[in-house]
Chain A
């Protein structure tokens, strides 16, 4: 059931960027199809590592569709990010062979919701007519560096 859900969601996520893409739908569908194949191969136990590449491929397909359509800001990106996370979680659950347990489903739902909120905040911030410049870029770089350092610190503590 988990595997079927993961596969169905991958198909939907692979098809979504191609909708309304017109003549460019075919190359986008090729990328989506490759992601579906990777998920299927991982779930069948042929290549478990394929599960790590499938969300990346779906994300690339989505970004390519945005670029090709030339849209300025896609507000559906946050919802697509939640779908992508759901594909990864369901897929890995199927690959690891674990039975889903309520704690994990709840934690995944909380993370997905938090991801959606963060995504919308990011999109809202991007939509604001703020003046750019060196100070804002420096603040962004500093924030990214702090986030990376924080992650590294957490990783070190978890490994200890």
Chain B
């Protein structure tokens, strides 16, 4: 109690000064009648004496100064707290006005979100105040705001990094990404940009998942549904998405094409996995991207690792060409497309950045040759057959040669022992020399 005294005195002093300074208070402009909330709710002593034990006094102690510089600083208490009057207990009709009455669109978006559904049924998902707070609702541009870009991950993390919430909602295998989302976010290029470089323009949770209309990726109207991802990423990465949209992947996504295995065309996060995103100039990206491409392009993946490019990359080189170095990162197109980097007309230019001086002969190298394919690669196929025959032939012949030799020497050795003589010193001259 005594420790709180200076604090209380300070607040009281501030309240008094503010009252004396004549804080603008257009009385009774909103709500019913002349209401002086500050008289009670700005009086720390009063609140402390009258507080309901069940509620934290901080909720009830709301001096006028609490709203200073917030987005709501010009609002009267009654704008949100309808039908409250001077008397106590307050009017039975008193209620908190829904935020939606002003913030209509945000309200509608929230109504459509997964948060609304769980807030209603389970009560453990956030409503407006869960993210924005109650009285200290600062504009998003204010560093103190819980929705300021530098604070969003922490705000979302209050629930999404919470063991209990993760256990309730994200414990199944298909929700694995969500279960580690916040921690992983800080390791992504977006997270690094935010925490290390302090970039407020870097994407944080709500830039991809939306602020109010938060929906899981399998929901058709979700911002992170496969079909919406290019547009979502394109809010910032406009130059990339305009290239991607024209690529084989982008156009297949729009057409809704599926592969024989039933896979849809990849959108941004299939290669730049949402919460595992790294900078493209990091070594881990260099090898990781190949794995991503390989999940669909299985044969090309296999044949890539038959080549020097693939083998050195697998050993950790970040110099040798990987998929995107030849096929381009976002503008990948079939080799039949004249705008493709691997179209015969363009392939010399594609090899040259690494192989200076490469010409028409050089590019006849088959980057995805399959020695087992006689139709496509006859020369290679027969070379491969010959080498295998040679390997098996030579080693096979000498395996027999060696085994028989060992057997013969062993037999002779035993025979010599049984015959009572000493074993042959040098083995060689047994029966033959005798």
Do A and B interact with each other, yes or no? no
